[in-house]
């Protein structure tokens, strides 16, 4: 058989193999402002990288509601909760009509505050005898995953990892 006749079937087989491989690769996009990729499938996992809104991630494995993903050239791998990613292609142009129409009712419910600054100011005016110093302090406290792990360790609490059992 000539080299030309042999080349065509090889090219076709390579094309089919590439198509099968590509169908198995699943790319999703980060749907939150910022998320940590953890070294294990847990909210308390140590962060290995940070991803931002619109960043593409490639799904490697699923464990419950956690996804093991790779970013960039694939050299960085970590776990992210499925609620932080979407199959949808995200439009990164802020302020366009298209962006406004892509928000789901769930997204809107999460974004709508029930206790805004006007309501808070009115309440403080009507209740001037209440000291809000400690409430304000608690609202401003954002523990890091390391602080949460230390707190749980001190209390001899071992949260489960992984997701649904």
Q: Are 41 and 64 in contact (CB under 8 A)?
A: yes
Sole residue written with tokens 């940590």: 36
Maximum Cα–Cα distance across the chain = 95
* pTM metric for this prediction: 0.54
Q: Are 51 and 35 in contact (CB under 8 A)?
A: yes
Which tens digit of pLDDT belongs to each residue from 97-132?
545 455 555 555 455 455 677 777 888 888 888 887
Q: Is the dihedral of CA 61, 23, 49, 138 positive or negative?
A: negative
Contacts of 81 (CB under 8 A, 6+ apart): 35, 43, 65, 66, 67
Token pair for residue 159? 């949260």
Which tens digit of pLDDT belongs to each residue from 55-91?
999 999 999 999 999 998 989 999 999 999 999 887 7
Domains of the chain by range and CATH?
3-154 (2.30.30.40)
CA 39 from chain centre, in angstroms, equals 14
CA 24 from chain centre, in angstroms, equals 21
């Amino acid at each position: 058989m000539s080299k030309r006749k042999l080349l065509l079937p090889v090219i076709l087989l390579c094309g089919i193999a590439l198509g099968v491989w590509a169908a198995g690769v699943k790319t999703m996009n980060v749907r939150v402002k910022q998320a940590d990729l953890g070294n294990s499938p847990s909210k308390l996992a140590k962060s290995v990288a940070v991803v931002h809104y619109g960043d593409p991630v490639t799904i490697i494995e699923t464990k419950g509601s956690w996804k093991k993903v790779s970013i960039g050239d694939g050299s960085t791998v970590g776990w992210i909760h499925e609620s932080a990613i979407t199959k949808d292609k995200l439009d990164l142009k802020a302020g366009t009509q298209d962006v406004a129409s892509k928000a789901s009712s769930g997204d809107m419910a999460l974004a709508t505050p029930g206790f805004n600054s006007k309501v808070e100011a009115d309440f403080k005016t009507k209740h001037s005898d209440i000291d809000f110093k400690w409430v304000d302090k608690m609202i401003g406290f954002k523990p890091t995953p390391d602080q949460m792990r230390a707190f749980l360790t001190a209390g001899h609490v071992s949260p489960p990892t992984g997701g649904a059992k």
